[in-house]
């Protein structure tokens, strides 16, 4: 055998050996990716939510000396930047992300005081939400904490609530569905048809003002190619409140804006205001206004018939809290932009139990354009130029909201 042939044979053997080694090495192709980590403070409790793109295989347990909460996620990748915990809370002082085995991630939460794991939940994609892994902890005595420490008391996929009715089809659905390119905005002109709403000092009907304003805003928003805008009504018809919410949900709305105009016994009252949902109104005026708007109908709830009551309550709670946070964020932008363009009420961002704001999965805001009971404000709202100015300001707020998609939300 010549030296050249010998060298060629050696090179071939080395290549085969190298290929074999590479085939045996782990690929680290993670099956799940955690995109966000959020904390929500309760009374003596804390909710930790992991947002993921697929189902997670988890293990949750406590360690002592020092007191820690450990979350192990198999075959999962988590960005180290999520260690930076946002917002204040009373139970967790910090988080550290490391490895758990070859293909897993470990998140260690340092506890400020003794706590126990109350509940662990894995929630499948629902409405606008992806997979959510939820860990609830609550304050406990040192003795109770000590009794729950270690692997013997760990929570895993097989021991806790795992909502799986949608899991069989979610992976296939996610694979074939493309991301929504345009943001869907549903504008809701208040009242209509047999319901005129507030009546101005010169006889102006609120229902006509709100429809005119919605059309102005739709025209301004549609200049942005990233938006798709729908109206709950585009003519003088009556639509029950529950149907307005259904319309927003049917269009898979990213944002819902209900448009109204107010009236008051005090003819000098003027100013624009913005409302988000609160079951307990922020003041007597807000409560009275909510009662007036809600008396026509009640909102229909989400259909959770396929889930147990416990899981339905969890899903609804998560959706409502997330939606409330996003609604408040949008309201903040709306107030800031409106103050640049018109007179606003003191305490501009208010809270009330308006039925049209109760969609648990659609960020929703109600805007009161002003008081038709004030002659000057009624006259301004009748003017196309003034409504156009308000529409431009509202559009700026909507732009800011969607540009700030890193929501500082709790759930």
pLDDT band at 320 (very low <50, low <70, confident <90, very high): low
Side-chain-facing half-sphere of 79: CA atoms under 13 Å: 12
Domain assignment present for 398? yes
- The closest alpha carbon to 185, from 241, 224, 127, belongs to 224
Q: Do 214 and 349 lie in a common domain? A: yes
Residue 380: pLDDT above 70? yes
Q: Do 386 and 290 lie in a common domain? A: yes
Q: In the prediction, which pLDDT does 79 show?
A: 85
In this predicted model, what pLDDT tens digit does every residue of 198-245 receive, in sequence order?
999 999 999 999 999 999 999 999 999 999 999 999 999 999 988 898
Q: Do 236 and 262 lie in a common domain? A: yes
What is the length of the chain? 411
Q: Which of 129-138, 226-235, 280-289, 336-345 bottoms out in mean pLDDT, i.e. has the lowest?
A: 280-289
Q: Do 119 and 195 lie in a common domain? A: no
Q: In the prediction, which pLDDT does 187 show?
A: 97
Q: Which of 165, 194, 225 is the last residue of a domain?
A: 165
Domain assignment present for 27? no
Residue 397: pLDDT above 80? yes
Distance of CA 132 to CAs 185, 186, 260, 315, 318, Å?
A: 25, 26, 36, 10, 10
Alpha carbon dihedral 340, 227, 354, 215, in 10-degree steps, equals 70
Is pLDDT larger for residue 13 or for residue 73?
73
Q: Do 360 and 246 lie in a common domain? A: yes
Q: Do 152 and 196 lie in a common domain? A: no
Q: Do 90 and 135 lie in a common domain? A: yes
Percent of the chain with pLDDT over 90: 44
- The closest alpha carbon to 353, from 247, 241, 255, belongs to 241
Is pLDDT larger for residue 102 or for residue 408?
102
- Report the CATH number that the domain containing residue 76 is assigned in CATH: 2.60.40.3500
In this predicted model, what pLDDT tens digit does every residue of 170-195 receive, in sequence order?
333 343 444 456 899 999 999 999 99
Q: Do 160 and 84 lie in a common domain? A: yes
Question: What is the pLDDT averaged over residues 2-13?
Answer: 50
pLDDT band at 84 (very low <50, low <70, confident <90, very high): confident
- Rounded distance between C-alpha atoms, residue 133 and residue 155, angstroms: 12
Distance of CA 296 to CAs 59, 132, 196, 225, 358, Å?
A: 49, 36, 12, 36, 15
- Rounded distance between C-alpha atoms, residue 331 and residue 173, angstroms: 33
Q: In the prediction, which pLDDT does 117 show?
A: 93
Q: Which of 135, 165, 195 is the last residue of a domain?
A: 165
Q: Do 202 and 316 lie in a common domain? A: yes
Alpha carbon dihedral 86, 89, 93, 95, in 10-degree steps, equals -40
Q: Do 297 and 379 lie in a common domain? A: yes
Burial (CB count within 10 angstroms: exposed 0-12, middle 13-18, buried 19+), residue 318: buried
Domain assignment present for 12? no
Q: Do 231 and 118 lie in a common domain? A: no
Alpha carbon dihedral 357, 239, 234, 372, in 10-degree steps, equals -70
pTM: 0.56
Structural domain count, the chain: 2
Residue 121: pLDDT above 60? yes
- Report the CATH number that the domain containing residue 223 is assigned in CATH: 3.40.630.40
Q: Which of 165, 199, 229 is the last residue of a domain?
A: 165
| CA 239 from centre of chain | 26
Which domain, by its residues, includes 288? Answer: 183-403
Q: Which of 20-29, 133-142, 221-230 bottoms out in mean pLDDT, i.e. has the lowest?
A: 20-29
Residue pair 364/334 in contact (Cβ under 8 Å)? The answer is: no
Domain assignment present for 13? no
Domain assignment present for 170? no
Domain assignment present for 408? no
Q: Which of 74-83, 249-258, 300-309 bottoms out in mean pLDDT, i.e. has the lowest?
A: 300-309
Residue 63: pLDDT above 70? yes
pLDDT band at 124 (very low <50, low <70, confident <90, very high): confident
Domain assignment present for 172? no
Residue 135: pLDDT above 60? yes
Domain assignment present for 366? yes
Largest CA distance in the chain: 110
Question: SS3 for the chain, per residue?
Answer: CCHHHHHHHHHHHHHHHHHHHHHHCCCCCCCEEEEEEEEEECCCEEEEEEEECCCCEEEEEEECCCCEEEEEEECEEECHHHHCCCCCCCCEEEEEEEECCCCCEEEEEEECCCEEEEEEEEECCECCECEEEEEEEEECCHHHHHHCECHHHCEECCCCEECCCCHHHHHHHHHHCCCCCCEEEEEEECCECCECCCECCCCCEHHHHHHHHHHHHHHHHCCCCCEEEEECCCCCCCCCHHHHHHHHHHCCCCEEEEEEEECCCCCCCCCEEEEEECCCCCCHHHHHHHHHHHCCCCCCCCCCCCCCHHHHHHHHHHHHHHHHHHHHHHHHHHHHHHHCCCCEEEEEEEEECCHHHCCCCCCEEEEEEEECCCHHHHHHHCCHHHHHHHHHHHHHHHHHHHHCCCCCCCC
- Rounded distance between C-alpha atoms, residue 112 and residue 68, angstroms: 9
Q: Do 97 and 195 lie in a common domain? A: no
β-strand partners of 189 = 259
Which pair of structure tokens corresponds to residue 243?
Answer: 């149907």
In this predicted model, what pLDDT tens digit does every residue of 323-358 receive, in sequence order?
777 888 899 999 999 999 999 999 899 888 877 787
Q: In the prediction, which pLDDT does 60 show?
A: 94
- The closest alpha carbon to 157, from 52, 68, 78, 60, belongs to 60
């Amino acid at each position: 055998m010549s030296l050249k042939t010998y060298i060629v044979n050696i090179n071939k053997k080395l290549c085969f050996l190298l290929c074999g080694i590479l085939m045996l090495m782990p690929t680290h192709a993670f099956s799940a990716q955690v995109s966000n980590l959020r904390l929500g403070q309760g009374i003596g409790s804390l909710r930790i939510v992991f947002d993921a793109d697929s189902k997670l295989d988890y293990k949750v347990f406590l360690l002592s000396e020092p007191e820690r909460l450990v979350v192990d996620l198999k075959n999962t990748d988590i960005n180290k930047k999520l260690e930076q915990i946002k917002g204040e809370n009373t139970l967790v002082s910090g988080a550290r992300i490391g490895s758990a085995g070859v293909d897993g991630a470990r998140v260690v939460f340092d506890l400020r005081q003794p706590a126990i794991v109350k509940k662990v939940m894995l929630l499948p994609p629902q409405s606008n939400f992806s997979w959510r892994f939820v860990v609830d902890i609550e304050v406990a005595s040192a003795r109770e904490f000590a009794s729950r420490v270690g692997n013997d008391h760990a929570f895993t996929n097989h021991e806790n609530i795992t909502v799986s009715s949608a899991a069989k089809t979610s992976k296939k659905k996610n694979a074939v569905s493309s991301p929504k390119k345009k943001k869907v905005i549903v504008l809701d002109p208040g009242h209509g048809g047999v319901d005129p709403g507030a009546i101005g000092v010169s006889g102006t009907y609120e229902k006509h003002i709100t429809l005119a304003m919605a059309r102005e805003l739709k025209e301004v928003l549609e200049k942005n190619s990233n938006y798709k805008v729908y109206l709950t009504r585009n003519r003088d018809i009556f639509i029950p409140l529950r149907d307005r919410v259904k319309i927003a949900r049917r269009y898979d709305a990213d944002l819902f804006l209900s448009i109204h105009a107010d009236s008051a016994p005090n003819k000098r009252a003027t100013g624009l205001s913005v409302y988000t949902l609160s079951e307990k109104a922020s003041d007597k005026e807000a409560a009275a206004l909510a009662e007036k708007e809600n008396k026509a109908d009640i909102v229909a709830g989400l259909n959770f018939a396929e889930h147990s009551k416990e899981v339905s309550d969890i899903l609804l709670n998560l959706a409502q809290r997330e939606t409330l946070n996003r609604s408040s964020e949008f309201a903040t932008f709306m107030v800031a932009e409106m103050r640049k363009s018109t007179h606003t009420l003191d305490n501009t961002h208010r809270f009330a139990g308006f039925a049209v704001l109760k969609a648990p999965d659609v960020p929703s805001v109600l805007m009161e354009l002003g008081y038709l009971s004030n002659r000057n404000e009624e006259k301004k709202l009748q003017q196309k130029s003034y409504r156009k100015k308000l529409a431009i300001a509202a559009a700026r707020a909507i732009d800011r909201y969607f540009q700030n998609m890193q929501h500082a939300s709790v759930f």
